[in-house]
Amino acid sequence: GAGVSQSPSNKVTEKGKDVELRCDPISGHTALYWYRQSLGQGLEFLIYFQGNSAPDKSGLPSDRFSAERTGGSVSTLTIQRTQQEDSAVYLCASSQSFRNTGELFFGEGSRLTVL
Amino acid sequence: KQEVTQIPAALSVPEGENLVLNCSFTDSAIYNLQWFRQDPGKGLTSLLLIQSSQREQTSGRLNASLDKSSGRSTLYIAASQPGDSATYLCAVTLIYNQGGKLIFGQGTELSVKP
């Protein structure tokens, strides 16, 4: 596609429910990244993919968070048993390769509100 | 642990002023440093990328400098315009991390008044 596409743009859920956030990177970009932006924490790295593999999951805050990428394209970030502290904007970015961070393109984010 | 700090947190200037945004980082072992712009409710747009071997980069009215040894970068905006109003974020990539793992500062919220 023309840019990084994320859905949903807004999600309101009840505490304890599971949510899935989707990211569709720029066509041909092999590297995909998830970041979280919250008021108190700023922008935090969560996970990145090179192709379908995730060499670095160090930023995932707990085992309730998981992510996968299939076909070297679309990625899904899943949060199980959501908590209020999960409320944040989840940003996805892609680049041609994981070394080429200068060409990092961000989507507009998925705003998650956990009631 | 690498920490990135941006000063000031917020800045309001009249249109036409030249201004400087500051970014400091604690670990000089960086691969590169980037400046991003974020408009309210939007994603991030990359403005300038400085590799660790470079001293500065320029794009239009923007100039970013890097002093790796002192752990500092500045973003200079010339002849500011109301359209420059946004949050500006700096981020570093460490040389011993895989690419893409950016460490961000908290940002400077800039308001340019007409």
Query: pLDDT tens digit string along B84-96?
Result: 999 999 999 876 6
Residues of chain A above pLDDT 90, percent: 69
Rounded Cα–Cα distance for residues A77 and A69 (Å)? 9
For residue A99, which of B66, B31, B27, B37 has the smallest C-alpha distance?
Answer: B31
CB B19 within 8 A of CB B40: no
A114 CB-side CA count, 13 A = 17
**Residue of B102, B103, B106 to mutate when probing chain A, most A C-beta within 10 A:** B102
Which residues in chain B are closer than 8 Å to A110, comparing Cβ atoms? none
- pLDDT tens digit string along A42-60? 899 999 898 899 887 889 9
pLDDT of residue A91: 96
Does residue A108 belong to the interface with chain B, where contact is any CB pair within 8 Å?
yes
Q: Please state, for a pLDDT cut of 90, what percent of chain B lies above it.
A: 75
Residue pairs between chains A and B whose CB atoms are closer than 8 Å: 68
Which residues have C-beta within 8 Å of that of residue A86, sequence separation ≥ 6? Answer: A64, A79, A112, A114
pLDDT above 60 for B82: yes
Q: Are β-strands A42-50 and A53-56 bridged in parallel, bridged antiparallel, or unpaired?
A: antiparallel
